[in-house]
Amino acid sequence: MTATAVRLPLTDPASLHAGDSVLLSGVVYTARDAAHARFAEAIDAGEELPFDVEGATIYFVGPTPARPGHVIGSAGPTTASRCDAYSPMLVERGLRSMIGKGRRNDAVKESMRTHGCVYFGAIEGTAALLSRCITSAEIVAYDDLGAEAVRRLTIEDFPALVVNDLHGADLYDDGPARWRRS
């Protein structure tokens, strides 16, 4: 299977389909559950978020510290469902894609279909390899959260699979049947 190069921010998320292999390049923001809780507090208080969510991509990751001469430490995906309670509020505000591992709940998938957001699965267990696809990293908010601080990353040829698309497909549901040998 050949991977398709995909530039972030996404301009045509409807062109992606569950099961597509992609190489992502562009800007993503890191955020795990602690940062998402702060996003919710800011939204409830009518405050600005630390980055413009419109068109953005969030990568569910808490990277390790960078070794000397490296941009970032290991940066493998965390379980996306930990942020399911918060994801719809960001998707409704224009979040265009998310990267993580594992299934999403029905409310998140419905919000994604309604508002035009795609969920990419990154390959778990490859954190050190994935970090090689990150060409720059800077903390943009919540420095006190350590590994869970919000970072702006630039990624290049970051391998992922489309898990949930705008057409209602879910790779976790459809994938086994698609690849099952008769």
pLDDT of residue 170: 94
Rounded CA separation 39/52 (Å): 12
Task: Characterize 140-162 residue by residue with b for buried, 16 or more Cβ atoms within 10 angstroms of its Cβ, and e for exposed.
Answer: ebbeebebbbbbbbbbeebbbbb
| φ/ψ (deg, to 5) at 89 | -65, -30
**Length of the chain measured in residues:** 182
Say which DSSP state 101 is in.
Answer: B
Where are the chain's structural domains? 23-179
Rounded CA separation 5/20 (Å): 11
HSE-CB of 180 using CA atoms within 13 angstroms: 8
The whole-model pTM stands at 0.94
pLDDT in tens, the chain (182 residues): 689 999 999 999 999 999 999 999 999 999 999 999 999 999 999 999 999 999 999 999 999 999 899 999 999 999 999 999 999 999 999 999 999 999 999 999 999 999 999 999 998 877 888 999 999 999 999 999 999 999 999 999 999 999 999 999 999 998 777 666 65
pLDDT of residue 97: 98
At the topology level of CATH, where does 23-179 sit? fumarase (3.20.130)
pLDDT of residue 89: 97
Asked if residues 104 and 87 have their Cβ atoms less than 8 Å apart, the reply is yes
Asked if residues 117 and 13 have their Cβ atoms less than 8 Å apart, the reply is yes
Asked if residues 149 and 29 have their Cβ atoms less than 8 Å apart, the reply is no
- Tell me which residue of 157, 116, 112 sits closest to 134, measured CA to CA: 157
Rounded CA separation 3/89 (Å): 31
pLDDT of residue 1: 66
pLDDT of residue 181: 66
pLDDT of residue 7: 97
Which token pair is 149? 């601080």
Query: Sign of torsion, CA 63 78 107 97?
Result: positive
Which token pair is 25? 């390049």
pLDDT of residue 177: 73
